[in-house]
Structure 1
Amino acid sequence: MADVGLNAQVKTEINQKLVETGEKEKLKEMLRKRLTECGWRDQMKEYAKARIHERGISQITVDELVNDITPRGRDLVPDIAKRELLAEIKDFLSNQS
C-alpha cells in the first residue's frame, strides 16, 4: 500500500517540476502538434459529431459526450506519439538530476 502513496507522491513531484519549469506546456504543445499531424484530432472531431448525431443534440450533455469519447481518444493516440512524449519526459527528468 505504501508503494501506491509513493507513486502518487512521485507523480505529483514530477508534475510540479514540469509546471514550474514550463516544460509541461512545451510537452502539451508538442503532443497537440503530433496529434494534429497524424489526423487524431480530425478523427475525434468526426467521432464526436457522429455521437451527437446518433443521440441528438438536445439529448446529450457535454459531460456525457466527453465521457463517451474519452476512451476512444486514448485508444487512438498513436504509439509513436506516446513513445515520443515518454522519451521527452525521461530526458527532462535525467537533466533535472
Structure 2
Amino acid sequence: MADFGDKRAKDAQLRAQINEKLVKSGERERLKNELRKRLIECGWRDQLKAHCKDVVREKGLENVKVEDLVAEITPKGRALVPDNVKKELLQLIRTFLSQQSTF
C-alpha cells in the first residue's frame, strides 16, 4: 500500500506544479474565462441557476444558508458540465503544457 500513497503524493505534487505554472503564466485566468464562456453558451449556468431556485423554493429562503446551498448544488453542477466542454478544457491544458519546456 505504500506504493499507492507514494503515487498519490507524486500526483498531488505534479498537480501543484502544473497549477503554479498556469497561475504564473496567466493561463489559469484565461482558461477560467474560456470555461465560464463555454458554460454560459451551453446553458449550464441557466440550468444551475434554476436548480438553485428550486432548492430555495423547496426549503424556504429563511431556511437556506449559502454553505448548504453550495454543498447541495455542487455535485449537480459538476455532473451537468457537458463532456465536450471538459474535453476542450483538458485539450487546452495539454496544449499549454506541451508548449512548456519543463513538462
Question: Residue type matched to 1:53 in 2?
Answer: R
Residue 78 of structure 1 deviates from its aligned partner by 0.4
Unaligned stretches of 5+ in structure 2?
none
Question: Counterpart of 1:50?
Answer: 54
Cα distance in 1 for residues equivalent to 2:33 and 2:82: 16
Which residues of structure 1 form unaligned runs of 5+? none
Cα offsets for 1:26-56 (capped at 9, x unmatched): 0000000000000000000010001000000
Whole-angstrom CA distance in 2 between matches of 1:10 and 1:51: 38
> Residue 26 of structure 2 corresponds to which residue in structure 1?
22
Corresponding position of 1:59: 63
Please report the TM-score for the alignment, with normalisation by the length of structure 2.
0.93
CA RMSD of aligned residues (A): 0.4
Fraction of identical pairs, as percent: 52
Correspondence 1:12 to 2:23? no
Q: 1:60 deviation in Å?
A: 1.1
Q: Which residue of structure 2 aligns with residue 73 of structure 1?
A: 77
Distance in 2 (alpha carbons) for counterparts of 1:60 and 1:43: 19
Runs of 4+ residues deviating >6 angstroms: none
